[in-house]
Structure 1
Amino acid sequence: MEVRDGDTVKADVEKTSSRVLEMLALNGKVTESGAMTSRCADYDADEEVYRARHPWSVYQAPFAEMQKAMDRLRGELPKNGWKIVKDGVDGSAAKSPQIVAESEGRAFALDVRLHKASKVGNAPDLLEVTVESACYRAK
């Protein structure tokens, strides 16, 4: 397993997120969150093994445009070094459309879900994206 600097990994995950946003080519508002570091669950607590995650969403865009953005992503990911490993629906009651992909070399994983507005809780239409790094040992 690679030994890496956590700040560098977070910056790489944020750059990858920006590239995914470009591929989506969707006009809407984007949540302003940065990448964060967490421990990799598959390792003992005393091991310094982490991953960086960058969750964000696009909202205030028409649902039909969000659907088109998901379709664009299906075409753009393989052209940009990603392998789609799941393209279907998630395990939620709403059965939201979901794309899961891994980058070449498996340095990054991507999870994109399209959520239809919900009357319960007044949730808006939302395109939810999470980019995360592979696990690494801290420097």
Structure 2
Amino acid sequence: MTDPAETKIDGTRSVETANKETKKVSSEIFDLIAMKGKIGGAGPGTGECGDDREKHFLMRHSWNVSGSTDAEVAQAMTRLKEGLPKQGWKIVSYERNNSPAKSLTLIADHDEKKFGVNVEFWEKGKARKDNPPGLVITVVSGCFQVPEGETVDHY
């Protein structure tokens, strides 16, 4: 585990600005997925990073979208794998994970935006017997410092 004191701070942002950027990144990813289906998940929230929880924070946004068939969701994963690099993302990994379901997982970073994304393809019935096929998306920002005079509102 990384020592919080050694965490790289990726610049200064207000929590409000980082929240808006996180929503924008998630929206751009949703547009690439281009799949109609049920969307779930809450909005972005702050997380801890760095050595001062009052000044340092990251944003995390986990959400999901279901598809009607495994083939439809597989096509969405292909669109992400091909489309993210065209938008400045670097694909770090695209392989099956070590979960019991061996879900296909895409991990990508956008150094300029200071965001990363993890996308898991949950095939029908593999993660849970009754689950529809879908994607589980987690967008995470870099570690930011709030502007002078502000503190982090953890939510």
TM-score, L = length of structure 2 = 0.81
1:87 matched to 2:90? The reply is no
* Counterpart Cα distance in 2 of 1:67 and 1:116: 9
Match of 1:36 in 2: 45
Retained in 2: the 8 A contact 1:29–1:61? Answer: no
> How do 1:62-73 and structure 2 match up within 5 A?
62-73=69-80
Q: Which runs of 5+ in 2 are unaligned?
A: 1-8, 148-155
2:34 aligned to which of 25, 28, 46: 25
Aligned length: 137
| Match in the other structure for 2:152 | none
Q: Percent identity?
A: 33
CA distance in 2, matches of 1:44, 1:88: 33
Match of 2:57 in 1: 50
C-alpha contact 2:115 2:140 (8 A) present in aligned 1: yes
- 1:95-118 CA distance string (max 9 Å, x none): 100000001326100100001233
Mapped contact 2:41–2:62 kept (Cα < 8 A): no
Distance 2:78 2:130 in 1: 26
Pair 1:6-2:21 in alignment: no
Per-residue deviation, 1:25: 0.8
**Cα RMSD after superposing both structures:** 1.8
Mark the structure with the bigger radius of gyration: 2
The question of 1:137 aligning with 2:145 is answered yes
Which deviates further from its counterpart, 76-85 or 102-111? Answer: 102-111
Amino acid at match of 2:27: S
Identify the range of structure 1 (81-90 vs 25-34) with the bigger mean alpha-carbon deviation. Answer: 25-34
Q: Which runs of 5+ in 1 are unaligned?
A: none
Q: Is the 8 A contact 1:6 1:138 kept in 2?
A: yes
Aligned to 1:107: 114
Runs ≥4 residues deviating over 4 A: none
Match of 2:131 among 115, 120, 123: 123
- Aligned equivalent of 2:103, options 96, 103, 109: 96
Q: Which digits, 9 at most, give the CA deviation of each residue in 1:48-106, with x for residues without a partner?
A: 32100111100143221000000111110111100000010122111100000001326
Superposition TM-score, scaled by structure 1 size: 0.89
